[in-house]
Structure 1
Amino acid sequence: MGIAVITMKASVIEMFLVLLVTGIHSNKEMAKKVKRPKNTVPQINCDIKAGKIINPEFIVKCPAGCQDPKYHVYGTGVYASYSSVCGAGVHSGVLGNSGGKILVRKVAGQSGYKGTYSNGVRSLSLPRWRESFIVSESKPQKGVTYPSALTYSSSKSPAAKAGETTKAYETTPEPVALMQALTISAAEPTHTSLPKPAPFVISATSSPRPQPVGHRSQETGFVPKEELSTQSLEPVSLGDPNCKVDLSFLIDGSSSIGKRRFRIQKQFLADVAQALDIGPAGPLMGVVQYGDNPATQFNLKTHMNSQDLKTAIEKITQRGGLSNVGRAISFVTKNFFSNANGNRGGAPNVVVAMVDGWPTDKVEESSRLARESGINIFFITIEGAVENEKQHMVEPNFANKAVCRTNGFYAFNVQSWFGLHKTAAPLVKRVCDTERLACSKTCFNSADIGFVIDGSSSVGTGNFRTVLQFVANISREFEISDTDTRIGAVQYTYEQRLEFGFDRYRSKADVLSAIKRVGYWSGGTSTGAAIQYALEQLFQQSKPNKRKLMILITDGRSYDDVRVPAMAAHHRGVITYAVGVAWAAQEELEIMATHPARDHSFFVDEFDHLYQSVPRIIKNICTEFNSQPRN
């Protein structure tokens, strides 16, 4: 009996073991047959900001059209988390305009974000932000699990248009992923818990004081408002420092343009304002509308960011009247670029004139004065005159007579108002290319320089040629043309002779040839009379907007008084540089030179050493120019 029981127990155990092994094997077979769900890539809209997504690293699919300026991007390479994820992808070049997948990785906040224009997207600059991110091609890293749905910082997840659910994970996340999400949430809370206020009793006569913007923490001091919530107001950019220009738009408000085209013109201005990244450290923009007469809509300091500027542009109403562009350019030259209107001096001045068809007045003279004042003029001509209409134009070829240079850089010809929006990006690129803004005033292209040359007997023929080489060496350093620096020369002994005036030669080559042709005169040394002659016969031709520089070269003491003529030069705004050689009297050089004499008087002991003074004179001319307010 005992043996039978033992045998039965052994059979039961054996059956149990067989069933156990068979079950394990079946489970393995079942597990092989069940396919693991394929990991899906969540889709997001163009307006989703990186700061709204808690996940530290993720792959997303972006739709087409995210290069639109309304999807704001801040930074270059490393982007502030307030930026559009997809907009940053387009700006970085990782994502095309047609959309696609990108890999996003969160990184630490930066102390500053640099704005640039790239791939059709204008990114804005920003002083600082609490969190950043970078984008790259959507190549998953080995061993990294990317979420198939995103975790958002608010309870209401922004649903994507493509129908992608955006709840927190559809399946229970793995503990590691959950801990990562909790860690991020703890590090950057969605809503900072403010300490409970102390009891506050309102008396019958008191009223509640407005709460300050932000919160004062006992541990860290003042916490900016944007740190309190991920749903903060949009950060205000300081402007793109790589495009620091003072810009005036002349918009056509004439009756002929019509209401529809006037609205298209305003939309174009808004697009440019958005692309420019307006701000005190970058470009500033004002608008003048012209018709019969011009009027300032707002000046450079009225609106200090792109959003405010766009709102102001929308409120502009059409004035009507004729299309007097020349009068508008004169108005801007005289009134717009002033310190009172926000002109910053060191920033290049730019005017963009928009014209429907052609002007009803002349632009050549007013534009010339504008260029000589250092203003870079761009012209956008929309639906210009066809061949049989040109007979009706007041001034044929008006654009070439107006723009800063006739090299094609400053002129845009748009065939139709409906194609105007295509001009916004190339215009912004050119306006911001400050190195090519050739009409901006510099120490090399803003002066009338008059040389007063001693031709007395003590100089001698050989030394006189050395003096002329000195004059040529200085002239060669400047940009010479009718609208840039102009050169004139007077030779003197007892008498004086105008060798050539400011309006005689309009190119550097012609000026240098003219200097070579000056003949040696020989005679006495009446330097005082020579200064007076130069004021009357040479600088009388100088233009109002030009700096007046007199460079006087002498080898001896004057036979007449130099004090009174030197004072007359000073009162007429002529800056005098006195260069003495050999027997020139040092005290006389200091009397003739503009104050301070140490910066405007030079002495060399031999004619052959004159060349050594050229770099010092050029440096002092530029230093003095750069120390003065521009325009």
Structure 2
Amino acid sequence: MGTVVLTMKASVIEMFLVLLVTGIHSNKEMTKKIKRLKFNVPQINCDVKAGKIINPEFIVKCPAGCQDPKYHVYGTDVYASYSSVCGAAVHSGVLDNSGGKILVRKVAGQSGYKGSYSNGVQSLSLPRWRESFIVSESKPQKGVTYPSALTYSSSKSPAAKADLWSTPTYTSSQNRPGANPGVQRQDSSGAAFQKPVGADVSLGEMDFWKPGSVLLDAGFVPKEELSTQSLEPVSLGDPNCKVDLSFLIDGSSSIGKRRFRIQKQFLADIAQALDIGPAGPLMGVVQYGDNPATHFNLRTHTNSRDLKTAIEKITQRGGLANAGRAISFVTKNFFSKANGNRGGSPNVAVVLVDGWPTDKVEEASRLARESGINIFFITIEGAVENEKQYVLEPNFVNKAVCRTNGFYSFHVQSWFGLHKTLQPLVKRVCDTERLACSKTCLNSADIGFVIDGSSSVGTGNFRTVLQFVANLSREFEISDTDTRVGAVQYTYEQRLEFGFDKYSSKADVLNAIKRVGYWSGGTSTGAAISYALEQLFQKSKPNKRKLMILITDGRSYDDVRIPALAAHLKGVITYAVGVAWAAQEELEVIATHPARDHSFFADDFDNLYQYVPRIIRNICTEFNSQPRN
């Protein structure tokens, strides 16, 4: 009996050990299988916005082609949740345009998002948004579980609908659904669904229960998704394209209704591509026919959406194609402070012409250019051979544009090809470094140097003074339509070294300064100022800023007060630079008020060079503080 019992015990123990070993082996095999399972990375489209995804941290796969401008991105490095997830990944450099996997992590909303151009994507600026996200390479962090399927804010799943009623949270005590048990709302298919009696709605920081609102999809819908018209973030504009822009559109009878509609669509597309906003480009539209009329100015619409809506409402005026009259109108009226001109931004006028103008444009365009307006011309379907006899100015484009280098003009064979000029035009209009006719502190003045050549200066010091004059001149954009430079040398007498109309390039001006010969004699500064007013500034163009920069090393033998007052009354802004034995009180009398910004004193000729940046800075500060036109 004992033997049987022992045998049974051994069998039981043996069976237990077999089961134990088998279980351990099975667990190991299961672990191996689990390890062999691949993580399922959800794939999203280029247009998916981070705000639509509820998950706080996730890995996704982006397709190719998300560099397209239609996938809007807001911010740099940290992006507003209204941005395209994949577009932000391309902008940040984590992905290229071929797509791939990325790690996305939600972070707090920012008080401002700065737009920038990076990796082929132009991100937009935004004043603030409630949620942000950052993008990095798809390297999972230890201890973090990433979802294999994303939860979207507009999910139609039963689970999502059940979750909607989970937590009683409100931001507004008014119009609460709980106050009206059984209230019905509609889902996206239009079918009504019943809110459970006594249940409250979890809407986080949103409040959709105002009168007349509709809750879509029975799930959480971001505020920005409910009403694109009223809640879509409005960009502050592209700061890399801060220009004041006027479009002169052809409304003449010859264009026809169909081509006029094409022209309007082109304008709407331009408005969208430019990213209109107060920190970026502003745009107005003038239509011309017999006479020009402003549809809206720079101040009227300050975002692309409103501007496009306004463009759609423009109606054709008819009449002749008097483009020259329209350019004159824009020069005199459009770019004013009252109409929204910002002063420090380049002024640009783009003229669209069907065929050719019915009036002359050369003189009107010249005045526009000299007022600092960058004139662009787009001509469509120009005159054929038997029509050229009707063109008043055969070479009207080159006579009108800012520069005859091809940068400022486009010719389109057919209205149906107009859209091909959109991107090149936007690129050129935003290239502020190449807008050579912009009215700025460096290209809008007539500068007259009044140089003391008296005996006390000496030959060596006189060459130092000329170097100082050359250094100042070198800072300006010099041409016949930009800044012009003239020079007078004086002792007891005065001599015009060269006038404003003598040289039209910087190289020629600098060579002319180098060739000025030292005169020697007394110091009659008052007479020199009067002479400069008559011989230099009397020939200054009416729309030019007039700057006199006088350099002297001693006290004047004659009175400077009356000549200086005459200069101030004639609108000549006077800078007085004294060296060595110059009288400080005389410098302050000569200088335009306030004297501290317009008078300078160097104790030695060799120290003159130090004042170049300060004088240039003061000239530009004063210019930028004044309204244009």
Is TM-score (shorter-chain normalized) higher than 0.5?
yes
Residue from 375, 378, 388 that aligns with 1:377: 375
Residue from 170, 173, 180 that aligns with 1:193: 170
Q: Does structure 2 conserve the Cα–Cα contact (< 8 Å) formed by 1:50 and 1:133?
A: yes
Matched, 1:73 2:73: yes
Q: Say how many residue pairs are matched.
A: 583
Q: Does structure 1 conserve the Cα–Cα contact (< 8 Å) formed by 2:171 and 2:207?
A: no
277-286 or 42-51: bigger deviation: 42-51
Give the Å deviation of 1:56: 3.7
Q: How has the CA–CA distance of structure 1 residues 562 and 168 changed in structure 2, closer, same or farther, with 3 Å as cutoff?
A: same
- RMSD (Å), alpha carbons: 4.6
Q: Does structure 2 conserve the Cα–Cα contact (< 8 Å) formed by 1:71 and 1:87?
A: yes
Give the Å deviation of 1:542: 0.9
| Mapped partners of 1:51, 1:553: distance in 2 | 64
SS at match of 1:307: helix
Q: What residue is the counterpart of 1:231 in the other structure?
A: 223
| Mapped partners of 1:20, 1:557: distance in 2 | 115
Q: What residue is the counterpart of 2:308 in the other structure?
A: 310
| Mapped partners of 1:461, 1:195: distance in 2 | 83
Q: What residue is the counterpart of 1:271 in the other structure?
A: 269
Amino acid at match of 1:443: C
Give the Å deviation of 1:483: 1.6
Q: Deviations over 1:552-577 (max 9, x none)?
A: 23444444332222111111111122
| Mapped partners of 1:45, 1:605: distance in 2 | 70
Q: Does structure 2 conserve the Cα–Cα contact (< 8 Å) formed by 1:149 and 1:168?
A: no
340-349 or 391-400: bigger deviation: 391-400
Q: What residue is the counterpart of 2:438 in the other structure?
A: 440
Residue from 441, 449, 452 that aligns with 2:450: 452
Q: Deviations over 1:317-369 (max 9, x none)?
A: 22223333332222222211212111222233222333334433333333333
Q: How has the CA–CA distance of structure 1 residues 496 and 39 changed in structure 2, closer, same or farther, with 3 Å as cutoff?
A: closer
Matched, 1:597 2:586: no
Q: What residue is the counterpart of 1:152 in the other structure?
A: 152
Matches within 5 A, 1:105-254: 105-111=104-110, 112-117=112-117, 122-135=122-135, 147=147, 149-154=149-154, 156=156, 192-194=169-171, 196=173, 230-232=222-224, 233-254=231-252
Amino acid at match of 2:126: L
Q: What residue is the counterpart of 1:477 in the other structure?
A: 475
Q: How has the CA–CA distance of structure 1 residues 417 and 622 changed in structure 2, closer, same or farther, with 3 Å as cutoff?
A: same
| Mapped partners of 2:114, 2:367: distance in 1 | 36
Q: Does structure 2 conserve the Cα–Cα contact (< 8 Å) formed by 1:89 and 1:102?
A: no
Matches within 5 A, 1:560-599: 560-599=558-597
Q: What residue is the counterpart of 1:411 in the other structure?
A: 409
Give the Å deviation of 1:198: 11
Q: Does structure 1 conserve the Cα–Cα contact (< 8 Å) formed by 2:153 and 2:221?
A: no
Amino acid at match of 2:105: K
Amino acid at match of 1:454: D
Matched, 1:283 2:281: yes
306-315 or 605-614: bigger deviation: 605-614
Amino acid at match of 1:115: G
Amino acid at match of 1:324: N
Q: Deviations over 1:514-572 (max 9, x none)?
A: 23333444555443233222212210111122211112234444443322221111111
Q: What residue is the counterpart of 1:178 in the other structure?
A: none
Give the Å deviation of 1:583: 4.8
Q: What residue is the counterpart of 1:426 in the other structure?
A: 424
Give the Å deviation of 1:469: 3.8
Q: How has the CA–CA distance of structure 1 residues 358 and 104 changed in structure 2, closer, same or farther, with 3 Å as cutoff?
A: farther
Give the Å deviation of 1:105: 1.8
225-234 or 478-487: bigger deviation: 225-234
Give the Å deviation of 1:274: 2.0
Give the Å deviation of 1:230: 1.4
Give the Å deviation of 1:505: 0.8
Give the Å deviation of 1:302: 1.0
Q: How has the CA–CA distance of structure 1 residues 102 and 78 changed in structure 2, closer, same or farther, with 3 Å as cutoff?
A: farther
Q: Does structure 1 conserve the Cα–Cα contact (< 8 Å) formed by 2:370 and 2:543?
A: yes
| Mapped partners of 1:79, 1:440: distance in 2 | 34
SS at match of 1:595: coil
Amino acid at match of 2:298: L
Q: What residue is the counterpart of 1:337 in the other structure?
A: 335
Q: What runs of 5+ residues in structure 2 fail to find an aligned partner?
A: 177-203, 210-219, 225-230
| Mapped partners of 1:608, 1:238: distance in 2 | 48
Q: How has the CA–CA distance of structure 1 residues 108 and 458 changed in structure 2, closer, same or farther, with 3 Å as cutoff?
A: closer
Q: Deviations over 1:121-142 (max 9, x none)?
A: 5432222323233456778889
Q: How has the CA–CA distance of structure 1 residues 465 and 85 changed in structure 2, closer, same or farther, with 3 Å as cutoff?
A: closer
Give the Å deviation of 1:300: 1.2
| Mapped partners of 2:241, 2:528: distance in 1 | 46
Matches within 5 A, 1:478-557: 478-557=476-555
Give the Å deviation of 1:148: 5.5
Q: What runs of 5+ residues in structure 1 fail to find an aligned partner?
A: 158-166, 170-180, 200-221
Q: How has the CA–CA distance of structure 1 residues 325 and 66 changed in structure 2, closer, same or farther, with 3 Å as cutoff?
A: farther
Residue from 351, 354, 357 that aligns with 1:356: 354
| Mapped partners of 1:341, 1:491: distance in 2 | 43
Amino acid at match of 1:193: Y
Q: How has the CA–CA distance of structure 1 residues 532 and 85 changed in structure 2, closer, same or farther, with 3 Å as cutoff?
A: same
Q: Does structure 2 conserve the Cα–Cα contact (< 8 Å) formed by 1:488 and 1:500?
A: yes
Q: Does structure 1 conserve the Cα–Cα contact (< 8 Å) formed by 2:94 and 2:102?
A: no
Identity of aligned residues (%): 81
SS at match of 1:367: helix
| Mapped partners of 1:605, 1:51: distance in 2 | 65
| Mapped partners of 1:507, 1:526: distance in 2 | 31
Give the Å deviation of 1:280: 2.1
SS at match of 2:422: helix
| Mapped partners of 1:190, 1:126: distance in 2 | 31
Q: How has the CA–CA distance of structure 1 residues 602 and 416 changed in structure 2, closer, same or farther, with 3 Å as cutoff?
A: same
Q: Does structure 2 conserve the Cα–Cα contact (< 8 Å) formed by 1:72 and 1:87?
A: yes
Q: How has the CA–CA distance of structure 1 residues 428 and 168 changed in structure 2, closer, same or farther, with 3 Å as cutoff?
A: farther
